[in-house]
Amino acid sequence: MRDGTRFCLGLPGVAVNRVEQDADGVRTVHLGTDDEAAAACPECGVFSTCVRQRRTTRPRDLPYGEVALEVRWHKRQFACRERLCKQQAFTESIDELPPYARITGRTRRAAAAAVGSGWSVAAAVTKELPMSWPIAHAAFAAHADRLLVELVAPEVLGIDETRRRRPRWAKNEAGSWSRLERFETNFVDLSGPGGLLGQTAGRTSKTVVDWLDGRGEDWKAQVQVVVIDMCSPYRAAVQQALPDARRSLTGSTWCASPTRWSRRSAARVPGPARTSRPGR
């Protein structure tokens, strides 16, 4: 039974000790560590057999069936006997559940794949998987970093800003709260498929220059035209980072969607001449 339930669970590094079910049908699976490497100190690599205490954690995992499944991992805390090691104690961990992790790696990967496939967003993933929006977003960002490659420089580059609807706050090392930047600068390919090349926090000339300089001199040399709005920080940034590129000021509005960027011109297009007043 132990091997069968272990294979059904499919979580490497742990074995199923027993499964319980309450009156509401909620199942609780009790796990034990089944990985010899978990007894090795993460600092020095020396294996330990000295158990200091036993702990039970409640990691969140993928849904299994229509009824909720709760996980209890009964793991050991070892004492490192290596005198020169700075790590005095450590708790068992596996690849799917590294130290301090509360969500399995496969749950994070499932959330990232759902957002990356385009059929869901981070807010919708949180309703299906046991995680919050910041965790789902971080999982997708890590997934994108592994897949994305350096973008090809466009001949026509568009720069515009986006403003968040609500302010966000962050706590610094001193313990005080500060409001995060509400504006994001977007870089768009206007000569190719019209894709979003990247984003950076803020709308100052320094943030734009830093993003452009991060692409490299060869990348910047391929940009022939830069389309910006009537924004002096953007104009100063283009003059500094792309001095050879032509600048085009426009009153256009950039409309974003998850899969493409489209341009909606704010200029009036002449229409057919009217021969009579409206309503006559």
Convert the pLDDT of each residue in 152-193 to its tens digit.
888 999 998 887 767 677 777 777 787 776 788 999 998 877
Residue corresponding to tokens 């959330």: 111
182 and 228 inside one domain: yes
- Note the residue count of the chain: 280
Total number of domains in the chain: 3
198 and 255 inside one domain: yes
- CA pseudo-torsion sign 53, 58, 138, 178: negative
115 and 137 inside one domain: yes
Per-residue pLDDT of 218-270, as tens digits, reads: 999 999 999 988 788 898 999 999 998 988 876 544 444 333 444 443 333 34
- Locate 162 and state its tokens: 């986006």
Integer Cα distance of 45 and 85 in angstroms: 10
Residues 6+ apart with CB under 8 A from 266: 251, 252, 253
Asked if residue 273 is part of any domain, the answer here is: no
Asked if residue 269 is part of any domain, the answer here is: no
160 and 248 inside one domain: yes
- Give the domain range for residue 171: 156-264
166 and 256 inside one domain: yes
Check whether 7 has a pLDDT greater than 80.
no
**CATH at residue 201:** 3.30.420
Asked if residue 238 is part of any domain, the answer here is: yes
6 and 94 inside one domain: yes
**pLDDT value of position 206:** 92
Asked if residue 271 is part of any domain, the answer here is: no
What is the identity of the amino acid at 109? R
Asked if residue 44 is part of any domain, the answer here is: yes
190 and 180 inside one domain: yes
Which whole number is the average pLDDT over 207-227?
91
Q: Which of 64, 82, 102 is the last residue of a domain?
A: 102
**pLDDT value of position 106:** 93
Residue corresponding to tokens 């709760």: 70
**pLDDT value of position 209:** 93
Q: What is the mean pLDDT of the chain?
A: 82
Asked if residue 27 is part of any domain, the answer here is: yes
